[in-house]
Structure 1
């Protein structure tokens, strides 16, 4: 019921694209943060952040994040109130960027709500880190790869990296966009490009798993500390390497995500003359960055969150493609990519949304009806 009310509220933005409908949608998202159970993702993040909040000098977390914890603690906020503050800031940043980069902000909000929104409620450092990275990426996508824009992007990367160190890797997007430029990519066959990216991703994953991992095991023996200690544990989906059936399933999932991104970018290039447009060079830089991430994900599945963060960029591309398409026409590529984005997003959020929000709400309604 709660989800449906929110969905209707956000959908109003499709017909009433004004500041009132937009603010109402934002307020709904902020309210959702306060009612989502802190253990919705069934992991140890909540306990770890609670301990860090109460004893910031006794944990080994990034200095920027520890500084934020100390500032919030000094204001007298409880941990849950501080946690909500983190999530409020992240959600407001996403909302502002959605409005800036796309006139169809309502559709983007829906895509976010039904994909990574609930996972973001748990992974505080990743959420606030990605919020700052997203500002930088939006600057590049809207304004291009000029020197000042790259410096602004790197400044946001620096702030994000001080909150979660993996955020520093996003700086490579500027490098790939600036110095590894592809020409005439719009003339390439879309289907072939998608198929090629699928198999490239599989190759990079298994190369990382069977080649890079043993090399890291050897290298770390010569260092004073094990710089990848804990990263090479087998059979761990959340951290370390995946094993067993996951070794077959997760590489395919990664290949689909990367291929869908490639397909949508190639499809979007056909509308390169439309305004306002996203910078194609930056989008191609993100594609190269995704390839770079794959071997790292093979070594440690924790790096997957860096790729998962980009999910909202897929939604943005779909929104733009929907805007530019001819009435009554939807290309085959966009159709299949839309299905992949929708089903994958729901797959990430369904267990969280329906188990913790929808199901309890329905149970309470039924119980109330029976009692009355």
Structure 2
């Protein structure tokens, strides 16, 4: 028996709080398999099979292959059980599964919840803000059907997502490359935003030299082409404007498109205090700090002319460095080790629920999810531009 299985048996035997195995299919199967192997080492125990369904259909068509439409085997070191996963949407798939990942898609919530067998565990998975995933929220009358959450919020059971600032391993001799261009913006989401982002950029273009890429811009840069993003290092500033005004919603636009490239991100989305808490110190320019476009433009031109002031935005590199977080959240289709990590989190919560308080803190998922960035908190005027 693998050490992971032994750890689980010992934890179950010595646990201080009672866990109802009948109400947890995942824990029940793993527990039974580990006990069987411990007590019947010379016999062949019943085969333990745990099925993990990734509940998605329409939104996942481009992401899936014929292989992962079928039950595909994988293994996790912490258990002797055999794990199987697939991408599906049928009620039969739901009824057969022990764990269900709720991925972005439109769905009949009533039918799905009524098909949910007793003891099945659900994982809420979203890398997007509520504005882009209303179909992920069950109606209010269903309370909170999820066991754990996997989102961009730091309050989630698994999170945060994209990158983080690590002060344990600062750069010894950070270098800032010389830039030849002023500002860039890249986006292919021109309209499906909670504010007039594209209109805002077009207004800035009247005052600043901005190179725009993607479907919303004038310059071509195929998203997955080799070397497409090498241009980022040529710019002093990058417009890292999020598609939604939601707390903590700081995506790869900030971390990858700007900081990783050595540009200063100009940000909008979450409030300044979220950036101050999660990002490197003095590493960004928040548009909320300016009352008018002219005030903002003057400051950008000042930094462009004054190298000393501009380089102050890179002093944070002596304090730490930006590191990539786990790709668990940013990968839509889960396989192998990523699935195992999330399943282990489900087990840990089953055994130590007090360490994962998200579900208890948010008994009504609909109210929590849609309350993150309510409509009345969305700004409709940034600087002196209507958005």
- State the TM-score, normalizing by the size of structure 2: 0.26
| Greater relative contact order, per chain length (Cα 8 Å cut-off, separation 6+) | 1
Greater fraction helix: 1
